[in-house]
Amino acid sequence: MSDEFFKMVAEAAFSNPFGEKRAEIDRRIVGASESTEWQSTLPPLLRDLAKQIQSLEQAGELVVDIEAEGEARNVTVSVLFHVFHRYMEAFDALIEEQLASGDESCRAPFAFQCLEDLAGYGFKRADACRYVGIFYQIRRAFYFISTELIGESPCMRQMRAQLWDNIFTHDIAWYVQCLWNRMEDFSTLLLGETGTGKGAAAAAIGRSGYIPFNPNAQKFEESFTRAFVSINLSQYPETLIESELFGHRKGAFTGAIEKHDGIFSRCSPCGAIFLDEIGDVSIPVQIKLLQVLQERTFSPVGSHDKLRFKGRVIAATNKSIDALRREGTFRDDFYYRLCSDLITMPPLRQRIRETPRALDQLAGHLAQRICGEGEILPILGKLNQDVGKNYAWPGNVRELEQAIRRILLTGAYAGDSATEPTEEIALSQAVEAGNLTAKELVEHYCRDLYTLYGNYGEVARRTGLDWRTVKKNVTSA
C-alpha cells in the first residue's frame, strides 16, 4: 500500500499544477470523487503523507537518495513534496514581502530552517540548498501565473499550463536534475492580439527564474523584482534603440553626455529580458539582437568592451509573425533563435465564447483591482447591458479595464466603434449572431485563413476546396 502511495505522490509532485492530470492524481490519492475541488484534496493528502513518512522514520527505513530509481526515488520525491508544503505559506509570505520591499533581497530565516529540515532527512547540503531555491521558484511561478492571468475557460487553463512548462519544461523531474541553471538559451515568443496579457505572461516567466539561496546570509541571492526588465521597442526611434538595448559609453555620440546602461546590462543572470513589440524592429536591429542571442555578449555603443548576458529572452508581438516573415520584414534566422517556445495568448472573445461567465469573472477581478473591495455588481450589470454579449472586445483585457474605468467615470460604455473588426473578429461575431448564409460563411472562413497563411494553396489544403474556388471566395468581398 505505501509503495503505491509514494508512487502516486511522486507523480503528483512532478506534474503540472495547472494541468488536469495533477488534480486527477490528487483525487486518486485521497479517494475523492471527480467532482471534488482540487484544493480540498490537498490537506488530507498532506496528512496521509506526513503519517507515512513518520512510520518509515519510526521503522528506521527512511532513506533519501536522489540518484535512486523506483521505490527509493518515489520516497525521496515524497519527502521533498512533504517539506515543500511545510514551508509553502512561508514562501508565499516572502513573495508578498519582497513585492512590497523591492530590489533589496529580504531575509528568509525560514528558508534556512527548510534547508536544515532537508539535511535532517539525509539530503546533502548542496542538494538541499538547490531544492530550497527550486521550492521558492515553484511558489513564485504558481503565484504569478495564477494571480496575473486569471480566467477559467479551457483556453486560459491551457495557456497557464503552457507558461508553467515554459518555466520548468514539460518534465520537472528532468528540470530539477539538469536544467535548473541552464535555461538561458530557452527563449520564448509570445503572440496574441493587443491587450491579451502578453506583458503579464512575460513578467510571470521573468520573475520565476531560479534564484540561488545563500545559507550564510539566510536570504536568496537577489530580489525577483530585479529579475524582469522590459522594453517596448516600438517606443524608440531607430537612432536610440541600440543605446536603449546595449547602453552607450560617455561621448559615444552627440548628446551622450553620460554613460548609459542598456537593458541587457540591467538584466540579472537569474532574470529575463522582455522585448515587447519585437515585430516593429528593423532588420539591422534584428541582426544585432541575433548576435547577442548567439554569442551571449554585447558591446555598449561606442565601446569595444564585451559584456556578458546570462538572462533569458522573452519577446512579444501583436502582429502576425507569419505575415512579417513572408513579407521579409522579420528574419527567419532571428525567428528560429527566438522561438524555443511559442505561446499564443487567447483573445478575450474566445474566452467568453468558451465560458460565457468569463467576462463577469474577469471584470469582477479587474474592478476589484481598480476599486479595492467595494461593491462591483452595478459595474458588471452596466457592462453586460451596454456592450451586449456579442461584442468582440478588440482591445481585449486592456479594453475591459478601460471600460470599467469609463463606467465609473461616466456611467456607461458603448464599446469601441473606431476599430474595424479584423476578419477573424468579424467571422466570430457573425457566427455568434447566426446571420450568415453557408456561402458567406465559407467566404469569410477562406479570407480568415488567407490572412493567416497568405497563400491560396494552404487554404485549399486546409478546407478541402480547390484552389480556384478558394481564390474566388477570398477575392469576393
Ligand X SMILES: Nc1ncnc2c1ncn2[C@@H]1O[C@H](COP(=O)(O)OP(=O)(O)OP(=O)(O)O)[C@@H](O)[C@H]1O
In the complex, the residues that contact ligand X under the rule CB under 6 A are: 149-151, 192, 194-200, 276, 318, 345, 365, 397-398, 401
- Least Å distance, CB 369 to ligand X, is 8
| Complex with ligand X: residue 64 or 204, whichever CB lies closer | 204
Three-state DSSP at 167 gives helix
- Least Å distance, CB 365 to ligand X, is 6
| Complex with ligand X: residue 11 or 276, whichever CB lies closer | 276
- Least Å distance, CB 202 to ligand X, is 7
Q: What cell does 116 get?
A: 536544515
| Complex with ligand X: residue 242 or 401, whichever CB lies closer | 401
| Complex with ligand X: residue 98 or 196, whichever CB lies closer | 196
| Complex with ligand X: residue 78 or 318, whichever CB lies closer | 318
Q: Are 41 and 27 in contact (CB under 8 A)?
A: yes
- Least Å distance, CB 393 to ligand X, is 11
DSSP class of residue 236 equals S
Q: Are 211 and 224 in contact (CB under 8 A)?
A: yes
Q: What cell does 28 get?
A: 486518486
Residue 464's φ and ψ, nearest 5 degrees, are: 75, 10
- Least Å distance, CB 201 to ligand X, is 7
d(CA 323, CA 445): 18
Q: Are 353 and 432 in contact (CB under 8 A)?
A: yes
- Least Å distance, CB 384 to ligand X, is 19
Residue, CB closest to ligand X? 197
- Least Å distance, CB 195 to ligand X, is 5
| Complex with ligand X: residue 300 or 395, whichever CB lies closer | 395
For the stretch 116-152, what's the b/e string if a residue is b when 16 or more beta carbons lie within 10 angstroms of its beta carbon?
ebbeebebeeeebbbbbbbbbbbbbbbbbbeebbbbe
Q: Are 189 and 341 in contact (CB under 8 A)?
A: yes
| Complex with ligand X: residue 133 or 394, whichever CB lies closer | 394
- What contacts 95, CB < 8 A, 6 or more positions away? 139, 140, 143, 224
Q: Which DSSP helix (H) or strand (E) runs through 315?
A: strand 312-317
| Complex with ligand X: residue 133 or 199, whichever CB lies closer | 199
d(CA 195, CA 137): 27
Neighbours of 374 (CB within 10 A): 10
CA 292 to each of CA 45, 191, 250, 289: distance values in angstroms, whole numbers, following the listed order: 47, 22, 22, 5
| Complex with ligand X: residue 113 or 355, whichever CB lies closer | 355
Torsion sign over Cα 298, 300, 304, 307: negative
d(CA 260, CA 247): 5
| Complex with ligand X: residue 134 or 141, whichever CB lies closer | 141
d(CA 456, CA 473): 10
Q: Are 145 and 160 in contact (CB under 8 A)?
A: yes
- Least Å distance, CB 142 to ligand X, is 15
Three-state DSSP at 183 gives coil
- Least Å distance, CB 276 to ligand X, is 6
- Least Å distance, CB 220 to ligand X, is 25
